[in-house]
Chains A and B, each alone.
Chain A
């Protein structure tokens, strides 16, 4: 378990979890890579920090799977940025992954509570 002072590294963050987090972030609207990473960081109160080495491969993988769509745009700083948005397929995937995640976290939480009591 990571403390609040140290952000979780990309190794600690499971690949499937990162995909879920990215899809969930894009649910609030289209964003470029840096925006996504900042939103994840801010949303997790600096606990999760996704570096470019994890973020961009994940974004490109999700784009290949057609869960997200990408489009080149010009930012406020007159910089060309690739903006990602959630597709209908991605929305369905997010719903499926989310319910799976909720089920798993519920089961694990149950196990964590049940195990000490069942011990002799």
Chain B
């Protein structure tokens, strides 16, 4: 898997590398007595162009069946990005829910620690307080006249 930014950098490097290659080939031909324009043209024709190389490299990326693309690299990167974004959203929502729940339970001073909501906690406090002072384990029971 190659990220788009890294791929662009690689392609730019490859372009520079091939331009250098062609310049050296052209320079060699000029040194052998060929006119500059002709030397550059011959070097380009013989060594193939950068575009061709990029196409040759690109044709291997992606999934192919009988030479036809099932999914290209660009499509797979786009799909993978959507999947990662969806997964990250779920993880963040889950983390936010888990982070918020204990805080809510702690804030209502739940006596048995098993309450999952503020309503549960209030109901539990009220029930314990009704059972008598021995059951009342929280100072919050003071707010209930039954205690």
Contact = CB atoms under 8 A, between A and B. Distances in A.
Asked if A and B bind, the verdict is: yes
B56 A82 contact: no
A79 B20 CA distance: 7
Interface stretch (B23-31, B85-93, B107-115): B23-31
Contacts of B48: 51-53
Interface residues of A, number: 17
B24 A79 contact: yes
Most chain A C-beta atoms within 10 Å of own C-beta, residue among B17, B20, B46, B48: B17
Interface string B4-43: 0000001001101110111111010000000000000000
B97 interface: no
Interface string A3-35: 000000000000000000000000000001110
A60 B58 CA distance: 13
B27 A77 contact: yes
B56 A57 contact: yes
A82 B17 contact: yes
> Size range of the interface on B?
20 to 34
Contact of A34 (B14, B24, B46, B50): B24
Nearest to B10: A60
Contact of B53 (A53, A77, A79, A81): A53
Interface of A: 32-34, 37, 51-54, 56-57, 60, 75, 77, 79-82
27 contacts: A32-B21, A34-B20, A34-B21, A51-B47, A52-B18, A52-B22, A53-B48, A53-B56, A54-B56, A56-B17, A56-B18, A56-B53, A57-B56, A57-B57, A57-B60, A60-B57, A75-B24, A77-B24, A77-B27, A79-B20, A79-B23, A79-B24, A80-B20, A81-B17, A81-B20, A82-B17, A82-B20
Interface of B: 10, 13-14, 16-18, 20-25, 27, 46-48, 50, 52-53, 56-57, 60
